[in-house]
Structure 1
Amino acid sequence: MPIATVNPANGETVKTYEAMGEEEIERRLQLAEATFRTYRTTSFAERTRLMHRAADLLDEDRQDIARVITTEMGKPVRQARAEAAKCAKAMRWYADHAEELLADEEPAAADAHDSGASRVLVRYRPLGPVLAVMPWNFPLWQVVRFAAPALMAGNVGLLKHASNVPQTALYLEDLFHRAGFTEGCFQTLLIGSAAVDDLLRDERIKAATLTGSEPAGRAVASTAGEMIKKTVLELGGSDPFVVMPSADLDRAAEVAVDARCQNAGQSCIAAKRFIVHTDVYDAFAERFVAGMKALKVGDPADEETDVGPLSSERGRADLEELVDDAVRGGATVLCGGERPEGPGWYYPPTVLAGITREMRVHREETFGPVATLYRAGDLDEAVLIANDSEFGLSSNVWTRDEKEVDRFVRDLEAGGVYVNGMTASHPAFPFGGVKRSGYGRELSGHGIREFCNITTVWHGA
């Protein structure tokens, strides 16, 4: 895939870039290794100052970088500005909390004495250069939620971003440099996917994090496993959105539309499978379909647009194949389902009902504004349908019954359970999945410690 900005609203190529050659990659690896030796010893106070400065600059740049994101991958400009604001918030959160999160821990004195020690400490030390392989769908946020904790922990970062968002990738390197971070602290590598394997095999790369597809995750995990390097993977998702009879149906349907169609539905944690108790199925479906039909699809640069184009022609074709397969298998199209005329890679908000296990749309992730509706006879069936997926990223449940909440929290196979609300990442809470949605955690204290050497310091009596 060429490294290029191609506007998904009209298919026009805006700018192309040459991939970095071996000599430039080597230069950047050497710089990362050399920078880490000194950056790792900087104080938390200095890292905090730099990270706050980066957040301030991002706030100043918000409008401009939002336009770049909209041009590169089609996100409605209002949502792109919100993404930039969220990134600045996360930077400040880690700047303010990293020292506390990575403070030395002292086990109980009795346990220290039992081991024959006078004192034992657990210390968190940085690992070194970390390679980040990041996707296009949240081109700022996905990177910042790695970069902010990694840099605050004393690591340095090398970014291999998606090939369709090169301007955003270069902006991120420039942002950290303008903030005062030493040049080698955060570098963007304009390279194709084929170059990732060699980087993972390089001894100077100490760990890797990837957000992306399951095949990409398998490839990175395989090589990293061979090289015995730590990885964190956040892969696909097919999150359930369960609605029980006690739910506030108006609110549930309103949130369901946002949960499915934010970023044109191109989100791993977007709700995708809507599992509704039979007693309220018809009432919810009516509200949900009406909400999906009411969304404004159009130019992502327009402030009034709700749903922009999909990021690529291939992405739209993949989504169409899933819908067509479901229709051939007997699914009912309640709204949408047909490609609009005209330029750009648009696809309408779509709701499918009558889904069976044989349909691809039941098994595969729908990366676009397509929702599937399921009817559940009771709580047990709702749990079974929700867990009938190879993915386990997050989940949403709507009920006012605390016993039902307890059951869902206990039995849903997911990295998160959001009750009467929509899944959303926040810097203070761990984020990640189970099953084929990956492993490890981003954000919170769990995320910043993923790329630390957790060191036991034992003092003899």
Structure 2
Amino acid sequence: MLTGPSAIRPGLPEEKDVLLSPVLRTEEFFRFLNDAVQAGGKVLSGGVRVELDNTESPTGPFLSPTLLRIDGLKGARKIECVQKETFFPLLPLIVIEPEEDDESLGRVIEFINSNEYGLRNSFWTSSEKTIERVVRQVNNGGLLKINDSHIGFVPWLGTHGGTGLTGGPFGELNYPLLRTTHLQGVSIGHGIQPRKAVFEYVASKEDVK
């Protein structure tokens, strides 16, 4: 079985295990990408247009899944692909700086809470102490998943929106009786692998179709 970005391939809608669809406005994607690179980001994979057979092409209608490395939380929010919702196969991976005072978690939580969209958060850790602190202090979002992907909650997003620019704090259904209450769904998973959490959910949705 293929793993990593190479397993996410373009294809026709009726083909099984196809996740990539064509992108009409690729200039916006490359604007995000170039902005990150100019800010010091490094392209670890992808960053090119590809054809249906996954070969690189300057006119390809698909975008190769792109993984960016961004070093340090400081200044990361100023990079557009970190600050905004891109809706492209573009994932910024922020590698935090070593901390002399061992307060890396505190700075990560502060960074999460600074997201102006505040929609969903997925946090992975094996430490029970860390889980307790994250659940207690992460307050930005309509959904917090611990050791699981937020994708599995998609059918219920109507009742759990965001706290910022996305969804609204009362969910997209905007229940009148809940307008004075901040809702945040919290789920804690155990023994779940990140890849399975995402791709097995996608496969199960295909089976339903």
Letter in 2 for 1:296: R
Q: Secondary structure at the match of 1:434?
A: coil
Q: Offset of 1:450 from its aligned partner?
A: 2.0
Pair 1:306-2:32 in alignment: no
Q: Give the aligned CA root-mean-square deviation in angstroms.
A: 2.6
For structure 2, list consecutive stretches of 5 or more residues without a partner in the other structure.
51-56, 99-103, 178-209
Q: Higher helix proportion, which one?
A: 1
- The equivalent of 1:414 in structure 2 is 141
Q: Residue 450 of structure 1: which of 156, 160, 175 is its match? A: 175
Name the structure 2 match of 1:323.
33
Q: Relative to structure 1, is the Cα distance of residues 408 and 319 closer, same or farther in structure 2, using a 3 angstrom cutoff? A: same
CA displacement at 1:435 relative to structure 2: 1.7
How far apart, CA to CA, are the structure 1 residues paired with 2:58 and 2:15?
A: 17
- Partners of 2:47 and 2:107 lie apart in 1 by 28
Identity of aligned residues (%): 28
* Pairing 1:353–2:73 present: no
| Contact 2:9–2:20 (8 Å) recurs in 1 | yes
Residue 334 of structure 1, CA deviation? 0.2
CA–CA separation in structure 1 for the residues paired with 2:22 and 2:105: 36
1:162-204 deviation digits (Å, cap 9, x = unpaired): xxxxxxxxxxxxxxxxxxxxxxxxxxxxxxxxxxxxxxxxxxx
Which consecutive aligned stretches of 4+ in structure 1 deviate over 4 angstroms post-superposition? Answer: none
Deviation string, structure 1 residues 109-162 (Cα, Å, up to 9, x no partner): xxxxxxxxxxxxxxxxxxxxxxxxxxxxxxxxxxxxxxxxxxxxxxxxxxxxxx
2:8 to 295, 301, 311: 295
Taking the aligned partners of 2:158 and 2:31, their CA distance within structure 1 comes to 36
Q: Alignment partner for residue 334 of structure 1, among 3, 19, 44?
A: 44
Alignment gaps of 5+ in structure 1: 1-289, 453-461
Deviation sequence 1:328-374 (CA, Å, 0-9, x none): 22210000011222766311110000253432222121211110111
* Contact 2:49 2:59 (8 Å CA) reproduced: no
Q: 1:302: how far off?
A: 1.9
TM-score normalized with structure 1 length = 0.31
1:233-291 CA distance string (max 9 Å, x none): xxxxxxxxxxxxxxxxxxxxxxxxxxxxxxxxxxxxxxxxxxxxxxxxxxxxxxxxx51
**Aligned residue pairs, count:** 155
Partner amino acid, structure 2, of 1:409: V
1:425 partner amino acid: V
Whole-angstrom CA distance in 1 between matches of 2:112 and 2:65: 22
Which has the bigger relative contact order, CA under 8 A and spacing at least 6?
1
Q: Are 1:351 and 1:373, in contact at CA under 8 Å, matched by a contact in 2?
A: yes
Contact 2:49 2:60 in 1 (8 A): no
Q: CA distance change for structure 1 residues 404 and 350 in 2, over 3 Å: closer, same or farther?
A: same
Match of 1:400 in 2: 126
* Alpha-carbon distance between aligned partners in 2 of 1:399 and 1:328, rounded to the nearest angstrom: 32
Q: What are the Cα deviations for residues 291-320 of structure 1, in whole angstroms up to 9, with x where unaligned?
A: 12222223233224232223xx23x32122
Deviations 1:421-451 (A, max 9, x none): 1112244983200022242214xxxx4x726
In the alignment, the residues of structure 1 paired with residue 29 and residue 113 of structure 2 have an alpha-carbon distance, to the nearest angstrom, of 22
SS of 1:425's equivalent?
Answer: helix
**Which structure carries more strand by proportion?**
1
Within 5 A, what are the aligned runs for 1:343-382?
A: 345-354=61-70, 356-376=76-96, 377=98, 378-382=104-108
| SS state at 2:27 partner | helix
Distance 1:325 1:342, change over 3 A: closer
Larger radius of gyration: 1
